[in-house]
Amino acid sequence: DVPLLERFARARSAGFGAVEISSNELFEHCPKEVASHLKGEGLDCVLFNLPAGDWRGGERGLAALPKRQEEFLRSLQQGADYAERLGCSRVHCLAGLLGSSEIYRSNLQKAGEVLGPMGVEVLIEPINQRSMPDYHLKSFGQAERLLAEVSRPNAPVKLLFDFFHCQILHGDLTMNLRKYADIIGHVQVAGVPDRGEPDARQEVNFRHLFQVLRDELGYKGHIGCEYQPRGKTEDGLKWLDELVE
């Protein structure tokens, strides 16, 4: 609800030490400027989305789109520059709508080859069709098969496990966490079904899931709060006191 660079101070004031950036607005600012604002607030950027095409025009990524490979490669180089300047070790590579599995596979391999040597993981995220109709990557099984083909030790491509999308696509969240634990690179959370705060007003037992994630599976990474606040962002953070020890 405020411009990107102003959000960093609010994140720090709310007690966060790290942020992820999912908006194309990131690329309206030079990386030096963004890095300066992050440093000024003492924040780490742990994830951002690669350029996703014409978002306002309805595009939702480039990686699977035919006849857009050159544009994707330019976006990849731009993303590499931002990752280096921001000290960010993960980027989310959005597939786009419809598209080609062959092109997607090829572009993900290129992304891993470019970013892997920099110490940057490429992430892919299955997205449910209710939230984003026609998104190319539409199941966790599809993502698992794709990662088996493209991920390499020196060019890692991993799964962005979003509880919201997994619950809508497949349910069975505990078992799916266990099933995909070895390929998870990052986790995001939102309440179901309305994508609001992950509090008592939604259907998922996040206290249990966080315990499985941390205590059973040994997950040490960040959990991104990728939900849509029902009101003022700061007013909706009470769930943190209830769920996070």
Give the whole-angstrom CA distance, residue 26 versus residue 97.
21
Length of the chain measured in residues: 245
**DSSP string computed for 31-52:** HHHHHHHHHHHT-EEEEEEPP-
Phi then psi for residue 99, to 5 deg, are 90, -170
Nearest to 125 by CA among 171, 98, 93: 93
Nearest to 88 by CA among 30, 171, 18: 18
From 102, 125, 149, 216, the catalytic residue: 125
Told to judge if 102 belongs to the known catalytic residues of this protein, a careful annotator would answer: no
From 20, 121, 197, 226, the catalytic residue: 226
Told to judge if 197 belongs to the known catalytic residues of this protein, a careful annotator would answer: no
Give the whole-angstrom CA distance, residue 207 versus residue 51.
34
Give the whole-angstrom CA distance, residue 8 versus residue 18.
9
140-150 and 101-115 are packed helices; what angle lies between their axes, rounded to 10 degrees?
60
Q: How far is CA 71 from the centre of its chain?
A: 21
Distances from the Cα of 123 to the Cα of 32, 44, 98, 241, angstroms = 24, 18, 19, 29
Catalytically active residues, by annotation:
125, 226
